[in-house]
Amino acid sequence: MLNSLKILTGFVACSMMVSVAYANDGIKSRSQQSKQVVQEFAGQLKGELQSAMKAKGPMYAVDVCHKKAPEIAQQLSEKYGWEIARTSLKARNAGNQPDAWEKSVLQKFEQRKADGEDVKLMAHAEIVETDGKKQFRFMKAIPTDTVCLACHGGNVAPELKAKIDELYPQDAATGFKQGDIRGAFSIVQPM
């Protein structure tokens, strides 16, 4: 009886280790996939914004960001069957406000930055339960680059600020400095 109990205990412990290893591999694999999708999103958006800035300047880039960013997020969400978005502690678009989980991760990103971590490398992934369903959630920090400062910096031109206020009446996304955490890409994958 004692040997049977030891064998059963060993089997349960081994099964739990395999489950944890499998979960960690699942997180690693899903994180890698998510990073690739974030690169795709960031690449498309950056290309659109750079073209707009080069062609007509920041006034036109605001329109592109207003229209194209949600379109890109929607197209990628449909392509992958995931929820793909951007969010920030200082959101420009009221529809991009962080949920409680995203807000917590963004606050942790700020602490990690304060501790000296490179914003460009910051990401966070975990499996969470929402409404009784498990989901894989992933966030990748968006660093504020020089090009971002025209619209998101502390010294936005008055006519540009008026255009931003017209498109985003609840805008809170100004006052950033180069290297700040502008926000994050956020992905939810069903499990």
CA 53 to chain centre: 23
The DSSP line for 157-174 is -HHHHHHHHHH-TT----
The DSSP line for 98-155 is --HHHHHHHHHHHHHHHTT--GGG-EEEEEEEETTEEEEEEEEEEEPPGGGHHHHSSS
Question: pTM of the prediction?
Answer: 0.84
Residue 175 to residue 51: CA distance in whole angstroms: 24
Question: Which of the 8 DSSP states describes residue 96?
Answer: G
- Give the pLDDT score at 24: 62
Residue 138 to residue 35: CA distance in whole angstroms: 9
Q: How many CB atoms lie within 10 A of CB 183?
A: 27
- Give the pLDDT score at 21: 37
End-to-end CA distance of the chain: 39
Residue 84 to residue 44: CA distance in whole angstroms: 14
- Give the pLDDT score at 20: 39
Per-residue pLDDT of the chain (191 residues; tens, 9 = 90+): 544 444 434 433 433 333 333 346 589 999 999 999 999 999 999 999 999 989 999 999 998 889 999 999 999 999 999 999 999 999 999 999 999 999 999 999 999 999 999 999 999 999 999 899 999 999 999 999 988 899 999 999 999 999 999 999 999 999 999 999 999 999 999 98
